[in-house]
Structure 1
Amino acid sequence: MRLVEVKLEEPRIENHSTTRFDLTIVVPTLNEAKNIPILYASLERVLTGLKWELVIVDDNSKDDSPALMVDMANRHDNFRFIRRFGRSGLSTACAEGMMTAASPIIAVMDADGQHDETKLMEMFRILDSDQADVVVGSRFAEGADLTSFTNFRTKLSLWSNVMAQKWFQVPLKDSMGNFFMLKRPVIEAAAPNLCGRGQKLLFDILLVSPDSLRVAEVPIVFGEREHGESKLSHIAAIDFGLQILDRKIGKFLPTKILVDMTMIVAATILTTILIWTVMKLAFMATGTFPYAPTLVPFASIPAVVIAFYAQQMVIPKRKRSKGANQVKDFLYFLAINLPFIVLAMWVTAGVVQVGDPRLRNLFGASLVANIGIIVATSWRREVISKR
């Protein structure tokens, strides 16, 4: 791809006689009922003279969004919505919404009022005059205003952009935002190759697009959220890291499997360390080993707990179990592990003293116990994917 300079011209809106709309704005939402009407009113104000439509892609919101969207769709011909069940995520939501658009130009933005809707017409003119294929509403271009951007988000975004520039040669100052506009053929060509992970759809599109792609940046004023809660958390950083891994090694080893393997290896190492630490302390105190099978659950159960919560950290926030449901999830997780822990205890039976040749069975026991973690982690991943 290449970064292009653009000239700001007077509006030159072509008459796309074969299309119903000139521009489709795709907005992913989760519990944004208060913000959707405000966004629609803002678009009406700034897109005067343009044929446009708003497509809301909602990840099964629990607020008043469903009823609100039905009402707005009945009152406005240029309002559509998609309600998603059993799947979630900003990138996939945006991609699905974009693929429903028939207009020649498509924009993506958030519903929370933080993206500068006054820049939409300028971005449209750049694409409509064929000066670029993609236009990014940049938070870091000269003239941008980040007064309302938190220190954490600023550091996270700057770090992510540096990674994109250094590791993937992305020439933009801001390839990590979710405010951009492109020509429909760009997303049609990119969609089959998108990884569908995390919140960095623009970054993913840029990576799978040809070098001839022309990209422009326009500075924006980043606004403040007035209603609802931000969906940004540490998961965004984890997702970005996994997205990078997916682009680097995904064709050889899917990142979902890699994450599970990492947790399993960590739990296995912890189990082994705990077993041998307890054995060493017991030997120092008595000169003999305690009944070896009792060491296995003492070491394995903490490993099970760590594996459970490690997986909890990398799943989408809306799919994480809470309260009583989390306890129930953990008990299922532990129940799957118990037969393997019992088997590991049987493997270690009879080890009674230092020098016992059966001592090596403790290593095998730790591996047997962690087969349960492998099975439980894989089972839970499948259950979570269907929520």
Structure 2
Amino acid sequence: MRAGDVVGASGIELSVIVPTFNERDNVRAITQAIEETLSGIRFEIVFVDDDSTDGTRDILAELAMRKGHVRVLHRIGRRGLSTAVTEGMLSTVSPYIAVIDADLQHDERVLPEMLALLRKEEADVVIGSRYVDGGSTGEWEKSRVRVSSTATRLAKLIASTEISDPMSGFFAITRPALYSAVRDLSGQGYKVLLDLIASAPRPLRIKEVPYTFRSRTAGESKLDAMIVWEYLLLLVDKLVGHVVPARFLSFMFIGGLGVFVHMAVLGVMVALGHPRFLWAQAVATGVAMVFNFFVNNTLTYRDRRLKGLIPVARGLLTFMLVCSVGAIANVGIAGYLYKSFEYVWWAAALAGILMGVVWNYAATSVFTWRTR
């Protein structure tokens, strides 16, 4: 069945997904802009709000009360652009779905052209591109252009189709194309378009239309240094996630950094000659655990990040308790293998370390960063 063969009982042809977090000063403007652009088209706007704290939700509720084509999904206890967009798309029944940011930086006037290409069955996905002829990154600084260019080249590692702007957050897709990929999405980071393209079982037919990226005029940008880390996790997940979860690899990597922290602290105390080695080892272990907790809280579990004094203190306590059990398991298993099965020392040690890491990862996922 083709995407355009079925229009829901509501008569909606196009659902426009708009993820929001603290966009109070933009949501009315983006609503009006979409309404003006899609005049004559049967459409709805679905705002997916990640529990904004600036009054955005109140404005969205007021818009939804007044306008029958505006809906709001309010998410509590989870955050992230990719999962917000995915939930928004899955809440619709229209044959065509578009995704656009709330900050007015994407050019909503391109939406009718995107829809027309989908209607003609010339593409499964139509991307608003800053890099095809006629497109532009606007007033971006050179450093941001370089970062975007590098990320685009890296995207080729997992994208099955040659496209100029796989990092775009502005696109339209048919429902069959969405359903073909949605169950294999990683949900990592901000680049849901790239996730969709890489998760599709067959190469999607893609068209790109140019647009000029606008400067933000209200609200604050959500981009920060962690975006790079989340993007790398997405690449890792699509490359090896079917074998080893990207989150587990992140946990292991940070654990490796913790070893260096441990050795640095221990080395300083041994060099100073105080306290005695046993106590120095205990202090170094504690420092490394604290380091691992806070870095994992920032990177590995960014989407479940603990905030506030009480949640962070409780999380740190459970993390240290779990890792203490993991350390005991590490030593016990290594010793058992070494003595009982005559493993060479390094193989026994590695087996113990691996078991400890697996325990720490599994247990902290349940007790420290459990999904709410």
Show the counterpart of 2:197: 206
Gaps of 5+ in 1: 1-12, 283-288, 344-359
Which one of 305, 317, 339 corresponds to residue 332 of structure 1? 317
The answer to whether the 8 A contact 2:95-2:175 is kept is: yes
Q: Deviations over 1:293-325 (max 9, x none)?
A: 122134223322321232133157675455745
Show the counterpart of 1:350: none
Measure how far apart 1:151 and its partner are: 3.5
Q: Does 1:226 align with 2:217?
A: yes
SS, match of residue 136 in structure 1: strand
* Alignment partners' CA distance in 2, 1:324 and 1:247: 35
Q: Deviations over 1:25-69 (max 9, x none)?
A: 001111112211110100111111111100011111112122222
The answer to whether the 8 A contact 1:30-1:59 is kept is: yes
Task: Report the AA paired with residue 247 of structure 2.
Answer: K
Measure how far apart 1:213 and its partner are: 2.1
* Alignment partners' CA distance in 1, 2:137 and 2:10: 37
Show the counterpart of 2:181: 190
Q: Note the 1:77-88 alignment, pairs <5 A.
A: 77-88=68-79
| Identical-pair percentage | 29
Measure how far apart 1:165 and its partner are: 2.2
Task: Report the AA paired with residue 205 of structure 2.
Answer: R
SS, match of residue 257 in structure 1: helix
Measure how far apart 1:102 and its partner are: 1.4
Q: How many residues align?
A: 349
Bigger relative contact order, structure 1 or 2, given CA contacts below 8 A and separation 6+?
1
Task: Report the AA paired with residue 306 of structure 1.
Answer: F
SS, match of residue 25 in structure 1: strand
Q: Note the 1:200-349 alignment, pairs <5 A.
A: 200-272=191-263, 274-275=265-266, 278-279=269-270, 282=273, 291-314=276-299, 320-321=305-306, 324=309, 328=313, 332=317, 336=321
TM-score (norm 2): 0.82
- Which moved further from structure 2: 86-95 or 307-316? 307-316
* Alignment partners' CA distance in 2, 1:17 and 1:340: 54
Show the counterpart of 1:353: none
Q: Deviations over 1:336-384 (max 9, x none)?
A: 38967998xxxxxxxxxxxxxxxx9xxx9xx99x969974995377544
The answer to whether the 8 A contact 2:158-2:239 is kept is: no
Show the counterpart of 1:38: 29
* Alignment partners' CA distance in 1, 2:224 and 2:74: 23
Q: Note the 1:2-13 alignment, pairs <5 A.
A: none
Structure 1 residues 378 and 115: alpha-carbon distance in aligned structure 2, compared to 1, 3 A threshold: farther
Task: Report the AA paired with residue 299 of structure 1.
Answer: A
Show the counterpart of 2:63: 72
Q: Note the 1:99-138 alignment, pairs <5 A.
A: 99-138=90-129
CA RMSD of aligned residues (A): 3.4
* Alignment partners' CA distance in 1, 2:326 and 2:160: 48
Gaps of 5+ in 2: 329-344
The answer to whether the 8 A contact 1:91-1:196 is kept is: yes
Which one of 136, 155, 165 corresponds to residue 174 of structure 1? 165
Measure how far apart 1:163 and its partner are: 0.8
Structure 1 residues 337 and 55: alpha-carbon distance in aligned structure 2, compared to 1, 3 A threshold: closer
The answer to whether the 8 A contact 2:161-2:203 is kept is: no
